[in-house]
Each structure stands twice: as C-alpha cells, then as structure tokens.
Structure 1
C-alpha cells in the first residue's frame, strides 16, 4: 500500500522534476519534485478539519507566517494529499545558524492572528491529544505479547549529542537547565525509593518495563488537562501550530527567502504556551543551549507573544506543564519506536527518560511555579 502511494505521488509530481521521497512513514509520506511537495497526511486526521486547516494556511492573514498550500486536498490511494511549494529547511549541518529567534517571532505572530476572521470551524489544537495518544500507544505496547524495547549500550561519560536540528527532539550539547525539570541524576521517587536512571538500566525486558513505568508515572504526575482527560479551567483559544520545532521552518522562496512555518496537521485553537513546549522541554532537559532558548523566547516576546509575560525570565511558569508533557510524550514515542523496531533508543532518548524520572518525583504542576 505504501509503495503504491509513494509511486503514485511520484507520478503526480513528476512534471515538476525528478521526484524524491523526503518522508515515508506509516502515517505520513512526503514526495518532492522540483519546486513542488506532495504530502499524504495521516489517516487518523479528520479530512474536514484538515481541509479547514489548509484554508486557514491559505488565508491572507497568515501570509508570511504559514506557508500557503497549492490548492485543496486531493484523494490519492485512499489518502488525503496536499500540495505545497518547496521551502528550504533548516540546515542540519549548521546548528549555530538555526533560526531560533525567527521561530519565536513566527509563533508570536501566529498567536496574534484574529481567529474570528479565519475560515472555520477551527478544530482544537492537537497538543494534549497527541500526548495522550503517545502514552496510549506505550500502554498498548506493554500489553502486546512479549514486548521488547531495545536500548543502545550505555553512553560513556562525555558522550556527545547530535549537532543538527532534528524533528524528534531538540539537539545540541547539554547546558544548565531550569530548576523545575533538572535535579540530581538520581532523585527520590514518590514512594520513597530511588527513581532509576533509564540510561543506566541496560538492555533487557526488566529495563524495558522500568523505562516504561517511569514514563507512565511521570504522565500521572501531570494535571488532567495536560493529559487530555478534562477541559482546562479558563482555557484560551488562540490560533496555535500544535507541533512547533525547528523542523517546521522553511525558507520560501528557496533558498534564502523569509522563514515560514509548515505542517498544519495539528493547527487549531488552544493554549499558546503549548507552541513553546518543544523548545522549552529541550532547554529543560539540557538538549538545547541556554542561548538558543533565550533567542527563541526573546523572539517570541519581541513579537508581543501572549503565551508568556513580558520580561527576561528564562523559565516563565506558563511553559512548565506543557514542557513536562512534551517530555513525557517524546519519551513515550521513543519507547514505542524502539519496541516496534523503528529505531533503537539514542542519547537524546536517554536524556528524555532521565527527565521523566525527575518529573515522576515532582508534584502535579498545579501549585506555585507550575501552569494552572
């Protein structure tokens, strides 16, 4: 089925140039041909909501913020396919030139768009639902026959992380991180025992179960609204991207046009702090340098973004619970990928799992210092 989909997308785009597969996963397939990109969206997405998201991206109020699609959805091999102009992505070999400030500024502009002037009805931003889906997948993996979550050998001291922006989690070398998510390497768990460091547990079924249990314990420490269990008190309904990270930025026109946000699959109404959660989680877990996080936050505040208060606080309380939630989501997704043979755990995954151990030893984020 997927091979037929790739072939069909390549055939449809061939007139623009020699087709090349950019992404080919069970949920998403992306093919580029010259200046045109075709994307087959995840089957789980509601086509009516997706069509609305495309209309929003094409609206004049989003010009210069979201990349505009080339037309509407088309059915291809039983999937819903959108067509886009090609934009040059963030250079993977130049992390020092990553557009952190520009990303923050684009997020602020997105959040300021008046939603009552946009096509509707707009669906909810998919942030908490995506987190709940990742944890549900982890639970399903644990109940499957003979679950197995392979782990890489324990990295030696002084290990290095990837130096290029990645879609799965923010990279870069470790730096001092905010107090809320950082703690000694091993911290007391809520039951009085010592929370294990998943990176040192070693491979094997016991380690697999230990890592998954840590993630699930961290999940239960989150407020109900962050787990998508109940509506949030005093919810906000601003236009949000829903899955903001450096992999969602491109220059258009390529190669050196202004930066635009891409990928509208999770676009919708919701809490704007969620769009700051991915880089915040990277900073809090030591995966993004303080300077990069400060640049992102500075760009957001310079754009008068409403998710956080003005000032120079590098850890505004509004981002705390979303950052914890994204950390748990990414760790759960990594364990599922490892269990299903998509890829083994890497250094970034071990850092996320260690952060989950620290989150598991915290409160539920509803008191002082956490988002309400």
Structure 2
C-alpha cells in the first residue's frame, strides 16, 4: 500500500512555472525543493515563490478565482496567491510567496493563530464571497472506510451528526456569517515577508460559521490529543482578541460542540484509512481519536 503522489513530470512543470514567476533578477536558490507530495498534491519551492498543484479530485472552478481575489484584499491575515489559478495539463496550479512554516521544535504559535483567526472573522463579508462548504468532507472521508471494529466505531459516531453534515440535507442558514479560513490548523500558518504570521491555503476561504475554524484544535483537545494548556492558550487568545466564534464569557462548547464532534469523526476516519493503507495498527493519538468516536456514539442517538 502507498500514499498517492503526484504524477511524473509534474515536478518539472511546477519548477519551470516557479522560475518564471521568480524572474531573472531573483537571488539564486537551490531547488526546486519539494515541500509536500501526498494525496496527489505537490508543493514546490523555487526561490521566494511556492508553486502548488492542488488536489486532483476537487472541483475548483470559479469559486477559487473568487477566493484568491478575496484573500488578496486581506494581506494582514492571508498570504494569498500572486494571481489567478493556472490550468497545467488539467491540474489546478497556484503560485504564492514563500513563507517559513511553523517549526514543531519551537514553541507553537497558538496565540498568533488565534489572533489571526479573530481578525479574519471580524473582517467585513463581501456580498460576493463564496460559501466555504467544508462540512461535506466528513461524509466523503467516512464513505471511504472499509470494514473492521474501528471503522464501525467511526460510523456509529458519524450517524449521530445532523443530516446536512452527513450529506443528506441542506445546511441551515447561520444566524450571522463571517469570513472563515475553512481548514485551519498550525500547518496553515507561515511567517511571510516582514516576519509576520499569516494564513495560507485558501481553497475553503469564504462565508460561514467561525466555530468551524476552531473545530480541529477543539476536536484534538476533546480527544485528549492536544494538551489542555495549549488549548487554553489558543482559546483564551481568541477570546481576548474579540473573536466571534465563542462567547467571551460562559460555555464555549455551546458553539464548538457540533464542529468539534464533526472534526473528531473526520480525523478518526482519516487515521483509520491511513493505518489501513500502511497495513499497521493505530498509534496512540490515532486510537485516542477513535476512542473519542466511541464516546460520541455511546452518548448520542443516531440523528
């Protein structure tokens, strides 16, 4: 079993695009350097630019153009692609400035991430901003599960989610919509020009409920994977920055419960699939997320 990588020849095409984007006056830089090559996604650095071939099984179309234009209006928060997406041999490709990613060996920038999200969530929502549409990914991941005890646990938890998340209905309108990143985690942060932290990967940027941007760390915390002190740092900084996803006082889980449960199920399903592809047992963190699904399935009836 193997993780799908990008097709041969794509690296050379992306490197050529990167050299053209960097320009003849760009300082020399060894490369191209492959930053990411998994699930058909290929990200290549050439000098001070990054060229990304996006996931091949997603339909991007006009909304990605709109997301890029939206990101370019928020330079304090987002490190946006330099221009509209390219079509390279049927693949969607974007070119962006390079930023230094989070170093897991250093103190993690939870507070900086929280403040960036709070600033994004407080930004005005343009009338033509696309919808983020992200919860559908939970159903897609669960649908790929095979058979087995862990798979059954995840499916039972998935059955407790509302029908619109399970792909069987329409998402109810939010009381108040905000701009959200749509897929936030620390891997979506880089130090851009000037050393300021910014968000990257804007494929899901759009209007939606801001609680979904807090869902991944909330899910990891509730599953016992994210240490309580790191969760407290993140949530506290978000509240102090005036983020609208949770109340400044009172129980934040009134807003976070459904997004966190959904992401816990998605993460657990991804872990089970990854272990199956590698023909290995679940590791400790992966098993913890499956155990979280067992608690979800045991505490709630199917929707």
TM over 0.5: yes
By how many angstroms is 1:342 displaced? 8.6
2:49 paired residue among 8, 33, 36: 36
Q: Does residue 334 in structure 1 map to residue 271 in structure 2? A: yes
Match of 1:6 in 2: 11
Q: Confirm or deny: 8 A CA contact 2:112 2:197 kept in the other structure.
A: yes
Q: Confirm or deny: 8 A CA contact 1:221 1:362 kept in the other structure.
A: no
By how many angstroms is 1:81 displaced? 0.7
Q: Confirm or deny: 8 A CA contact 1:135 1:332 kept in the other structure.
A: yes
The structure showing larger relative contact order (alpha-carbon pairs under 8 Å, at least 6 residues apart) is 1
Match of 1:101 in 2: 111
Alpha-carbon distance in structure 2 between the residues aligned to 1:229 and 1:112 = 31
Q: Which moved more, 1:11-20 or 1:211-220?
A: 11-20
Match of 2:225 in 1: 287
Match of 2:25 in 1: none
Q: Which moved more, 1:42-51 or 1:10-19?
A: 10-19
Alpha-carbon distance in structure 1 between the residues aligned to 2:220 and 2:103 = 19
Structure 1: which 5+ runs fail to align?
Answer: 143-207, 367-372
By how many angstroms is 1:337 displaced? 2.4
Q: Which moved more, 1:66-75 or 1:337-346?
A: 337-346
Match of 1:211 in 2: 150
By how many angstroms is 1:88 displaced? 0.7
By how many angstroms is 1:328 displaced? 0.4
Q: Residues 1-372 of structure 1: matches in 2 within 5 Å?
A: 2-14=7-19, 16=22, 17=29, 18-43=31-56, 44-59=58-73, 62-94=74-106, 97-116=107-126, 120=128, 122-138=129-145, 142=146, 209-235=148-174, 236-253=176-193, 257-311=195-249, 313=251, 315-341=252-278, 345-363=282-300
Alpha-carbon distance in structure 1 between the residues aligned to 2:164 and 2:224 = 26
SS at match of 2:130: coil
SS at match of 2:87: strand
Alpha-carbon distance in structure 2 between the residues aligned to 1:246 and 1:353 = 22
SS at match of 2:44: strand
Structure 2: which 5+ runs fail to align?
Answer: 1-5, 23-28
TM-score (norm 1): 0.72
By how many angstroms is 1:312 displaced? 6.3
SS at match of 2:80: coil
By how many angstroms is 1:67 displaced? 0.8
In the alignment of these two chains, the number of paired residues is: 288
By how many angstroms is 1:100 displaced? 0.6
